[in-house]
Structure 1
Amino acid sequence: MVISGVMKLIGSGMEFFLVIPGIGGTFILSLLWIPLLFMLVYHIVTLVLSRNSNQKIWGPVVGIVASTIGIIPLLGMLLHWAAFICLLIDGILTLSRGPKDSPETTKVV
């Protein structure tokens, strides 16, 4: 499904913003960790959409882990890097799979 792939790519962009040294940490701390809560909800929604369209879910799962454990400063930055990379790869693979190969449109002859 295209929407889950696009949401994974948008999520990877938001994760990239959070891992910019100095800027991401300041953004999270200045808003009292609310961005981590927002990202947690965003990744859960992406996970549900991916699951419903029979797409891979490893990108959103890594994002959920990064958002929940991300309150620990250095570990959080490393986890957000992992989430950025995983969501980017997962989103590209989801979109490149296309509707032709998706299980909903595959016909059994």
Structure 2
Amino acid sequence: MFIISLTYIVPLEELDQHMPAHVKYLKKYYKKNIFVASGRKVPRSVGIILALAGSEEEVREIISEDPFYKLELAEFDITHFLTSQFHPDLEDLLKGK
């Protein structure tokens, strides 16, 4: 599993102009069972995505499609961690990766 942190580097008003495209991108990877959860930190300065992927390379390829990445609206940081415990409903998703 990977934690993708997006640190916003533009004013929120500019970020919000591209939010519909970003949400469309997120939905694409939810449908592919790669993204598990996403949201913003409080206060709103960072976005977080939990992703199931086979490798960091795969995550980087996926990130490259994000409008926030393409338009340089955020800096991206990837943390890879091994899930030793998880909610039982995630078991099928985790076994698939």
- With the length of structure 1 as denominator, give the TM-score of the two structures: 0.35
TM-score, scaled relative to structure 2: 0.38
